[in-house]
Structure 1
Amino acid sequence: MSVIDHLVAGPEVRGVVADDQRLTGDDTGAMAIEEAPRPSMTRLLHPHVEQRPGGVPVTTPVYQTSTYELPRTPEAAHIASAVAPSGYYTRYGSPNNAEAEAMLAGLDGAERALLLGSGMAAVSAALLSNVRAGARVVAQTNHYTAALTLLRDVLPSFGVDVALVPQESLQDAVDDSVDVVYAETPVNPAMVLTDLAAVRSAAPRALLVVDNTFATPYNTRPLDLGADLVVQSATKYLNGHSDVTAGVVTGRAELIDRAWETARVLGPTCHPFEAWLLARGLRTFPLRMARHNASGHAVAEALAAHPRVAAVHYPGLPTHPQHDLARRQMSGFGGMLAFTVESPEAALSVLQHTTLARNAVSLGGTETLITHPASLIFAHGGTADTVDAALLRVSVGLEEPEDIIADLTQALDHR
């Protein structure tokens, strides 16, 4: 036998037995090869796990499953037809979602909450579930950039009449002919406020939807001021650790059920692990927000005193043009602020020279973030030219406020 023949020959020729074969002998002493029993796929798919003594987990485990075995009774049909069942199919809901939703509804003082895969999923579900062709929507000219695209481009393509009006006079632009009013307060990035009670009074028949991401329910409770639905990016302060993308809609049960039906069709699922992380973050939410409020105010005051800062946009400062409204509507002023320097070039210089504050979008995490909205946040949707290029936005984190102030000060002082 040649070397090549030996190399390519089967295991019985080479004297090597393959893993799934075994040698057996007959009464003449000759050796034969039999196939060994293969592992059962059925047993692999349905392992028997012995129940062992133990307690109940203190923290809800992650239900990392896409589907659930249902009982072989009429109860299965009841589960399948329910709104947001927590044990049917994960696009419909999950035990982890249900836990986070209960916490979120409690924060907002709402009957029910719907957890979705992003803040824009929440905005989209809230609006799309309540408009039809011919409906009239009034919203602000200032909104989160993707929400503006939805209002300005997407809804009109469905035959919805959308009017965008100045934020400060939103209450003057609504009346009983309006079907939906969409507001955001404070707005990104200039920290302008909407008088929610005044809007509610001016349009008592309209459905009032409020984006409360910047204020959070710790500082503003829109449902108490007349809102019907509240939307928030749970990615931000609600989770608070920059490791989750999620959104939430809260409000009356029948409105949340309607939003769930829309989300069931569009499919913006918040998966169990993200819901679990969100519930973990919510457990420290009040503690974190107290720190964000205190540090945000300290940083705003320090920036206002700096000679290279032209203006600070923070509703907690007496110099804010809507400070009186902020004091009526908000119980705290948060960790979000913006400030304007003398030129776009000066803004970019500050951005380049911070060392503690990180150049990143999003907000509400433990770390301080700084960003240039005109070039980084409003790059999509054709709205960059509406944002002052000399403005910088800061999400004040949980570091020592003196360290945050020192970092921003040295960046401002850099020549």
Structure 2
Amino acid sequence: MGKSKKFETEAIRTQLERSQYLEHSSPMYLTSSFVFEDAEDMRASFAEEKERNIYSRYSNPNSSEFIDKVCKMEGAEDGFAFASGMAAVFSTFAALLSSGDHILSARSVFGSTHSLFTNFFPKWNITHSFFKIDELETIDKMVTPQTKVIYAESPTNPGVDILDLEALGRIAKKHNLILIIDNCFASPYLQQPIKFGADLVIHSGTKLMDGQGRVLAGITVGSKELVDKIYRFSRITGPALSPFNAWVLSKSLETLAIRVDRHCENAMKLAEYLEQHDKITWVKYPFLKSHPKYEIAKRQMKAGGCVVAFEVKGGLEAGRKFFDSIKLLSLSANLGDSRSIVTHPASTTHSKLSAEERQSVGITDGSVRISVGLEHIEDIIGDIEQALS
């Protein structure tokens, strides 16, 4: 086959070389370490004169297969797989930044990432500034000589706001900054930020990549030069993904496209239903024409993703009543699962933010985030309808 293979084919057919047993599906390599042929082989391996597995904290065949798949999906040169999404976020920044460096981040980021910037990095004299997601033109004036990174999520968590990745790519290139994009809500199937100028892309593999709420995982992919720095930091500090979880995720990626297609189909129908409901104040979904960044979403995403955000009329009390009335859907803090999940960001994922900080990114007391699953859409809507009534 001369031409490059399609996304779905790469997800299924990218795998390890078969062993002498000629297995059809890649086996699990549940080993902490690997043996050497002789003293010279061991010396050369540790001297990095040859590429081979030494210790599963550094690399493992299952992790390598998972990384290879994601790199092909994202159009990246290399990657490293982590024990969780937040391990990927922390390790990526820690590997690339030094004391005195400055991060420019979108104001709308995951609660734990916000805490990392505001509570922990200042201890190491790493500072940050937040820019508003709908005012990217202000970023130029916020860049300082100490600025090293521009960071953003798109779509954002939990408000499913959209940032113009191409505009961010231009700004990063103009100032010679590293652009890091959290692509977790979209998955590589719906969006590839590297095409728009991102240097690194981060995922929580726990979400859509696994898709069934089984394992924790994270991954960072991008340029070989930057990933090498992340790899060298991570092989010492030890946040590596376990071989078992890597095997699960590699198998999960085989069905990513077909699962995400159904997620998006269900989410679109739910968003359209909620938009007409008299007990809903507002609805946000990237592929609704009412979304303020609809045109940008259509330009950089294949479909709108699995997350719908909305507000129940009546504030906190009405929101609590709604959550307590849910019967079928799960009350949980995860997303991207085959099971639909309802989350109250103000009291869960973003509870560590102050009321003012939540308000600044559009998280109200009545805000609801639904990760729309793979159940029949009539059952999903039916449960939400009875909870609202």
Structure 1 pair 199/242, CA: closer, same or farther in 2 (3 Å)?
same
Q: 1:260 aligns with which of 208, 227, 231?
A: 231
What residue in structure 2 maps to residue 121 of structure 1? Answer: 87
Aligned to 2:301: 330
**Counterpart for residue 349 of structure 1:** 321
Confirm or deny: 8 A CA contact 2:210 2:249 kept in the other structure.
yes
Q: How does 1:283-362 map to 2 (within 5 A)?
A: 283-342=254-313, 343-362=315-334
Alignment of 1:4-83 (within 5 A): 55-82=21-48
Q: Is it true that 1:388 corresponds to 2:360 in the alignment?
A: no
User: In the aligned structure 2, how far is the partner of 1:229 from the partner of 1:78?
Assistant: 30
Shift of 1:64: 1.2
Q: Which moved more, 1:284-293 or 1:145-154?
A: 145-154
TM-align CA RMSD: 1.8
Deviations 1:230-278 (A, max 9, x none): 0010000011110010000010111111111111222112111111111
- Aligned to 1:245, the other structure's residue is in SS state coil
Shift of 1:84: 11
Please point out which of 166, 177, 181 is paired with 2:150: 181
2:114 maps to amino acid: L
Scaled by the length of structure 2, the TM-score of the pair is 0.88
Quote the Cα distance in structure 1 between the aligned partners of 2:48 and 2:366: 51
Worse-matched range after superposition: 167-176 or 120-129: 167-176
Using the size of structure 1 for normalisation, the TM-score is: 0.83
Shift, 1:78, TM fit: 2.8
Distance 1:274 1:83 in 2: 29
Contact 2:69 2:250 (C-alpha < 8 Å) held by counterparts: yes
2:126 equivalent to 1:160:
yes
Contact persistence 1:180–1:207 (CA under 8 A): yes
Per-residue CA deviation, residues 40-89 of structure 1 (Å, 9 max, x unaligned), is xxxxxxxxxxxxxx842211211111111112142222322449966211
Contact map agreement 1:360 1:369 (CA 8 A) in 2: yes
Give, in whole Å, the separation in 1 of the partners of 2:49 and 2:159: 38
CA separation in 1, counterparts of 2:380 and 2:326? 10
Q: Distance in 2 between matches of 1:83 and 1:312?
A: 56
Task: State the distance in 1 between where 2:39 and 2:342 align.
Answer: 56
Residue 194 of structure 1 pairs with residue 166 of structure 2? no
- Aligned residue for 2:89, secondary structure, equals helix
Q: Which runs of 5+ in 1 are unaligned?
A: 1-53
1:371 is matched with: 343
Are 1:172 and 1:202, in contact at CA under 8 Å, matched by a contact in 2? no
Work out whether residues 145 and 383 of structure 1, in 8 Å CA contact, stay in contact via their aligned partners in 2.
no
Q: Which whole-Å CA distance do the structure 1 matches of 2:49 and 2:236 have between them? A: 13
**In 2, Cα distance between the equivalents of 1:83 and 1:390?**
58
- 1:363 deviates by 0.6
- Which has the larger displacement, 63-72 or 357-366? 63-72
Task: Return 5+ residue gaps in structure 2 as ranges.
Answer: 1-19
- Mapped to 2, the partners of 1:84 and 1:322 lie a distance apart of 48
Tell me how far 1:400 sits from its aligned partner: 1.0
